[in-house]
Amino acid sequence: MKAVKQIWSWVSSIAISFVLVLILGVFVFQSTRVSGHSMDPTLHDTQRVYVSKLSHTFRYEPDYGDIVIIDSRVNLRRTFKNDLLDSPLLSLFVHGDDKHIWIKRVIGKPGDVLEMKSNKLYRNGELLDEPYLNEEMKANSNKKWTVPDDNIFVMGDNRNNSMDSRIIGFIPMDHVLGKKLF
């Protein structure tokens, strides 16, 4: 009987720890690994970053220049199940495809008019100062976007080699999964 109590004590402690780590990872804080070169030179392939999930949990709008983690499946309606399945802890047990989780920089917020002309990016008519870029953006044509309500526009820092809002469109706020802390 004493052995059963000891085993139960261990199992319950592990279960409580698992649930707490899961809750923290879904709602508060998580680490993630950069995959690819779209954020060069700011972030590098395989670099680990730490993300605050509070902006997603409480639906805070990110600021210009924030580096955010997004779900790139913009046509998918996100649910709590998606939040659980995207948790790093559960991904240890459920082999899923995390290629839809991207890390990008916030360029436009609701109501902003973004314009690309002559390889330069303008927000609401003003040229953006982007010291984090390491080369001039090579745009094939002039383009203009108006960011709708409850959406943002994101781009990678490696503009010439980045899949971002220029390709997939605007990012719904519920697809902004967190903000890079460090």
Active site residues: 38, 104
By CB atoms closer than 10 A (0-12, 13-18, 19+), residue 165 is buried
Cis peptide before 41 (omega within 30 of 0): yes
Phi, psi of 109 (to 5 degrees): -120, 170
Token digits of residue 52: 């605050």
**Tokens (6 digits) for 59:** 């639906």
Cβ atoms 30, 55 nearer than 8 A: no
- The residues that bridge with 85 in the sheet, in sequence order, are none
> Which amino acid appears at position 160 of this protein?
N
Burial of 164 (0-12, 13-18, 19+ CB in 10 A): buried
The DSSP result for 136-157, as a single string, is ----SS-EEEEPPTTEEEEE-S
